[in-house]
A and B are shown apart, each in its own frame.
Chain A
Amino acid sequence: MRRRRIGALELYVGAMFIVMFFPLVVLVLFSFVKSGDMRFPITGFTLSWYREVFSDSSVLDGILNSLEVGIFAGLIVTCIVTPAVLLLSRGRLRWAGGVAAVLIAPAALPGIVIGVSLLNLFGDLRMTLSLVTVTVGHVIYCIPFFYLILNARLKNFDRHLEEAAMDLGAGPWQRFRRLVLPLTAPAILGATMVVLALSWDEFQITFFTIGDRSTLPLVIWSRARRVIDPSVNAIGTLMIAGSLLIVLLTRRLIVESYS
């Protein structure tokens, strides 16, 4: 029987987790502190930063824009990638590997490349930059991740179920509506939520394609350019809260792809 010792590995991993979460804890903590400049000692607690943030129209605008882009990007990605995944993970296409490589390709490049290529494209097309162009960028960015996650989940889909349905006389649309869709809906929903989370704090592509609108990360950016702006603590905490909400909502759907 192995004794549970606190060895060097445990200490190291503990230290790593502290280091990783330390900045976030500091941010959230100081969003409630009166002085707000992230210095000890703490001068007192207050909600005034939140009051200021929630009454600031540019922040609320940023939140709404982020949500709008996220929801549209999520819907678009789900609608166009799900059929491809359903086909590739259950069929036995010879060129499935090649198609997968093309779908994953945008993830192999940093956001700046996607950003400038789209900026260049929209410039040549004489398109004005707006939330629409931002959504396009987010769609391209999220396609690989949606594909990878849904594909991983659907690999375990039992083909025999579909064959049984076929033997019982179900046509392709019937099979889809009554067998495939209900069984794959949780996985699809989980992948969509991941797209939402990715879009929510995307910055590097958004920056090139947004023109004069703002999503929430850009609101933080424009304030962060000043040396210290305490309201950023509150906005940042709101961003973390949003991400946390999305992750918790899809908890079981995402993590199960590891088992």
Chain B
Amino acid sequence: MSLAASLAAEAPARGRRRRPYALLALLPVGAVICLGFVVPLAMLVVQSFHAPHGFGLLPSSAFSVSSYTQVLSSSVYRTLALNTLEIAGFGTLLTTVMTFPVAYFIRFRLKRAQNLALLLTLVLLFAGYIVKVYTWRVILGNYGVLNSILTSLGVIHHPLGILLFSKLAVFIVVTYLSLPVAILILVGALQNADPALVESARDLGAGGVRAVVSVLVPVAMPGIVASLAYGFVAIAGDYVTPQLVGGPSGQMIGVSVYDQFVNVGNPPGGSALTLLMLLVFVVVYGLLRLLERRFDTR
């Protein structure tokens, strides 16, 4: 047999032999994801379709939507949900808008310093979630750094009480927390953008900012959408920041989920809240996908 024919005869056999290897490689991680992620989520769904109960009350195993009706008819949860949507929506929007120029600068204006800038962003990202929240609580306090700077500059005469234990405080902190990830996502999205595009926009007469925005935003849209999506989900699910800096007016829905599971002992209620939260995420993801498709440059 010629060399070509013998190789051709061998090739399909090799392909067929590779399939059992494929399963072996994917089995461990597949099993872990299945047992540790998919199954628990399914259990949450099942759990949510039971009647609410609490510690010391016997759970009933009958199918029931009363947990959902209880959540959906409660004005307290409605307020919390609106609060959460407001903070997460505006927070991720502000984060993405604020970090886009930074990402542009890092990608297009830095050469040797680019790696250093990305490294600094990574350091900031890994600096510790709870550390940052705690530090902001002190900074925003009546005797904190921000108030004392403003007072000594003569801008204000009394400390601004609204800076802490308020919706504004939560908004500031969650926006701050999302900054590093947004920068990394946007820099990644701009990597494939050709700087010549901006130049040609300038040649056609567009002014500085307009040239950049009108050309790069469509190209980077997948990254912008990813940044908006990740920021929204991360902020909406934050249950620690509201507890530390939110006060009575700055609470978010995540705190209720925590409360239902840990303090009240009501898994059906907590699961119902979680599922509703996931539903909102799906809707937000869907809307953002529509936005992305509208700007599809391919």
Contact = CB atoms under 8 A, between A and B. Distances in A.
Interface stretch (B62-70, B120-128, B216-224): B120-128
A112 B179 contact: no
Residue of A16, A113, A201 with most chain B CB atoms under a 10 A cut-off: A113
19 contacts: A13-B101, A23-B135, A26-B139, A87-B25, A103-B29, A103-B33, A108-B233, A113-B237, A117-B274, A143-B33, A197-B126, A198-B126, A208-B261, A220-B131, A221-B240, A232-B134, A247-B122, A255-B118, A258-B191
Contacts, number: 222
Interface string B116-156: 00111011101111111111111100011100100000000
B226 to A, nearest CB: 10
Contact of A140 (B36, B144, B257): B36
A157 to B, nearest CB: 15
Nearest to A105: B37
A60 interface: no
Interface residues of B, number: 78
Contacts of A134: none
Contacts of A108: 233, 281, 285
A23 B132 contact: yes
B32 interface: yes
Given A80-B28, A120-B271, A26 B240 contact: no
A201 B234 contact: no
A20 B180 contact: yes
Interface residues of A, number: 77
Interface of A: 9-10, 12-13, 16-17, 19-21, 23-24, 26-27, 37-40, 79-81, 83-84, 86-87, 91, 93, 99, 102-103, 105-106, 108-114, 116-121, 123-124, 136, 139-140, 143, 172, 197-198, 200-204, 207-208, 217, 220-221, 224, 228, 232, 236, 239-240, 243-244, 246-247, 251, 254-255, 258
A110 B33 contact: no
Interface of B: 18, 21-22, 24-26, 28-30, 32-33, 36-37, 39-41, 43-44, 47, 98-99, 101-102, 104-105, 109, 115, 118-120, 122-124, 126-139, 143-145, 148, 176, 179-180, 187-188, 191, 233-234, 236-240, 244, 254, 257-258, 261-262, 267, 270-271, 274, 277-278, 281, 285
Nearest to A166: B14
The list of the 5 closest CB pairs from A to B, nearest first, reads A110-B237, A117-B40, A83-B25, A80-B28, A243-B126
Contacts of A220: 130-131, 134
Contact of B254 (A9, A112, A201, A217): A112
Contacts of A93: 22
B273 to A, nearest CB: 9
Contacts of A27: 131, 135
A221 B47 CA distance: 29
A93 B26 CA distance: 12
Contact of B244 (A83, A99, A102, A224): A224
B119 A251 contact: yes
Contacts of B25: 83-84, 86-87
Contacts of B139: 23, 26, 38
Nearest to B127: A240
Contact of B37 (A81, A114, A197, A243): A114
Given A80-B29, A118-B36, A201-B130, A38 B144 contact: yes
A97 to B, nearest CB: 14
Contacts of A121: 39-40, 43
Nearest to B23: A87
B131 A240 contact: yes
A236 to B, nearest CB: 4
A16 B135 contact: no
Given A140-B36, A255-B118, A120 B131 contact: no
Contact of A91 (B22, B33, B187): B22
A116 B37 CA distance: 11
A116 B261 contact: yes
A171 B236 CA distance: 51
